[in-house]
Structure 1
Amino acid sequence: MNQQPHPFPSGSEPEFGSGQPPRQPAFNLPGVIVALAGVMVVIHVVRSYFLSAEMSGQVLLYFAFWPVRYDPSLLFSGQAPGGVAADIWAFVTYGLLHGGTTHIVFNLLWMAIFGSAVARRFGTGRFLLLSVLCTAAGAATHLVTHAGESTPMIGASAAISGYMAAAIRFVFQRGGPLGAIRRQDAGAYLVPAVSLRDSFSNRQVMGFIGVWFGLNLVFGLASIPFGGGAGSIAWEAHIGGFIAGLLLFPLLDPVPSRKMLT
């Protein structure tokens, strides 16, 4: 996820006054993953190659996540571009925008890996609900840590972080797609999940979480650019999405847990 540099010159800031797991799909990617990736790619291509710089800036103005929109003096005042509706939809729409080719390619690769595992288990409806909630959680976390800032945030990484958090509840389990003893069929994605406490006792899970958090902190705190632009990693939003994925998993998981089966 990138925080984009301000799209306007210094001093000219804008004035803001179902539930059944699907069958194995073709090409080994669930249809919802292909569709969601297609939407992101189309949006990115149109913004990059068919819109003028001014029009692309307007898209950011209306659909990126701007913390300054939520300043108490402006919140729900209708003065910001898009009005109250944009104050609400920006919590989700920012996740469909990307800052550059590298940015969107990396996000699509991670979504293909972890999002596919979750989509096969959850089915389309539950997967999309998880996507929306994790994206919104990432925006909320970013808002708390960047209140009043006039730099927009864009990217699907909060949702992808949520997919990662949900996936670790089952992909490393025995019989899961990444387990020490694994299955190779669709049933690998339907193994009963263990408790969050038991997940954290799994060395593979803890190793993955440690590397993931470490990379986010290094890239975020060092303000290392990513995605082909001058923006930096919005690591707080990643963590917000990840925590949301962990907490939401048992509420959305259609597969009975091991505890329920005993």
Structure 2
Amino acid sequence: MFKRQTEGAVVCSSCGTLVGVRDATCLNCGRRNPGLWGYAPLLRRLGQDLGFVSLITTACGVLYVLTLLMSGQRIRMGGLFSMLSPDMASLFLFGASGAVPVFGYGRWWTVLSAGWLHGGLLHVVFNMMWVRQLAPATADIYGPGRTVILYTVAGVCGFIASSAAGVVLVWMPLPMLRGAQFTVGASAAIFGLLGALVYYGRRSGMSAVRSQAVGYAIMLGLFGLVMPGIDNFAHAGGFVGGYLAGRIMDPLRPERLDHLLIALACLAASALAIVASIALGLPQLR
């Protein structure tokens, strides 16, 4: 199952044409090492997104359970949207972002970790449903490596925007316009995927893709304006970050090997951010 292919033809990991497993470049799209050292068939078995959706859903589910276990008897059981919510101390420990962690405690790396945490059962379920809806479509267009980059950059942009607004706009009369003192969730990155799809529709002239992505963004944005506890600045920052990252990487050009390497670096940085949050957060909670 995990055997490396050393001869014969494989499918180019960027454009999908047949290439020799030892070819230095793909004659169709120009990608270097299109056979990925003979591991392209193995990676293809993970799906078009190379298993990224499964990674997100599994990691977010595991971290949600861990924060619940850490909360113990402090688990919140309020209304529908706060059912089975970890307590704030547990979310802080695992890497919640926002004005208080970033500017109050100097935990700047939480802009990477917060997107993997969730504040309630419905929160994680709804977000994972949107990830399963949008991430495979984004991977079909941008490629799996660039999708990981888009997802990470959008999350970082969203939490930077929310944390900064939580300091600068704390005086605003409406809570929805103040930013966040504490914030978690994958929705900033989800809005980033929508932003990237909007750019693709504009760049390629495919109005159907653009219209659907804009429609989703407007629907979710309006939902955030009428529902309490929604981090609208994270959504807006994520959307802008995803749109700009999609523009920089240009979806009409084939994915390159360095995109996959950057994607691995993004995942490693996110994991390190969670580890750092726990390691450095324990003394702060004592």
Q: TM-score normalised to the size of structure 1?
A: 0.62
Task: Choose from 96, 102, 117 the match for 1:64.
Answer: 96
Paired residues, number: 194
Runs (5+) with no aligned partner, structure 1: 1-18, 75-79, 173-193, 226-231, 258-262
Q: CA deviation at 1:205?
A: 2.4
Identity, % of aligned positions: 25
Partner of 1:186: none
Partner of 2:224: 220
Q: CA deviation at 1:25?
A: 4.6
Partner of 1:165: 195
Matched, 1:252 2:246: no
Matched, 1:99 2:114: no
Q: 1:236 to 1:42 in 2, by over 3 A?
A: same
Contact 2:98 2:162 (C-alpha < 8 Å) held by counterparts: no
Q: CA deviation at 1:220?
A: 3.0
Which residues in structure 2 correspond to 1:200-219 (within 5 Å)?
Answer: 202=207, 205-206=210-211, 208-210=213-215, 212-216=217-221, 218-219=222-223
Distance, in Å, in 2 between the alignment partners of 1:215 and 1:112 is 16
Distance, in Å, in 1 between the alignment partners of 2:58 and 2:132 is 12
Q: CA deviation at 1:215?
A: 3.8
Q: 1:205 to 1:130 in 2, by over 3 A?
A: closer
Amino acid at match of 2:224: G
Distance, in Å, in 1 between the alignment partners of 2:132 and 2:216 is 19
Q: Which structure is higher in helix share? A: 2
Secondary structure in structure 2 of the residue aligned to 1:88 = coil
Partner of 1:177: none
Q: CA deviation at 1:240?
A: 1.0
Q: 1:49 to 1:60 in 2, by over 3 A?
A: closer
Q: CA deviation at 1:243?
A: 1.2
Q: CA RMSD in A?
A: 3.2
Secondary structure in structure 1 of the residue aligned to 2:245 = helix
Partner of 1:7: none
Distance, in Å, in 1 between the alignment partners of 2:144 and 2:238 is 19
Q: CA deviation at 1:161?
A: 0.8
Listed one character per residue, the Cα deviations across residues 157-212 of structure 1 (whole Å, up to 9, x for unaligned) are 01111112212444x6xxxxxxxxxxxxxxxxxxxxx528x46xx36624641452
Higher relative contact order (CA 8 A, sep 6+): 1
Task: Choose from 65, 68, 79 the match for 1:48.
Answer: 68
Distance, in Å, in 1 between the alignment partners of 2:253 and 2:71 is 48
Q: CA deviation at 1:70?
A: 4.4
Q: 1:108 to 1:162 in 2, by over 3 A?
A: same
Partner of 1:13: none
Partner of 1:16: none
Contact 2:194 2:213 (C-alpha < 8 Å) held by counterparts: no
Q: 1:58 to 1:27 in 2, by over 3 A?
A: same
Distance, in Å, in 1 between the alignment partners of 2:238 and 2:127 is 14
Which residues in structure 2 correspond to 1:59-208 (within 5 Å)?
Answer: 59-62=90-93, 63-71=95-103, 74=104, 80=105, 84=106, 87-147=107-167, 151-170=181-200, 195=203, 198=205, 202=207, 205-206=210-211, 208=213
Matched, 1:37 2:63: no
Secondary structure in structure 1 of the residue aligned to 2:90 = helix
Q: TM-score normalised to the size of structure 2?
A: 0.57
Secondary structure in structure 2 of the residue aligned to 1:152 = coil
Q: CA deviation at 1:69?
A: 3.8
Runs (5+) with no aligned partner, structure 2: 1-11, 15-39, 76-85, 171-179, 255-286
Distance, in Å, in 2 between the alignment partners of 1:203 and 1:254 is 16
Amino acid at match of 2:61: V
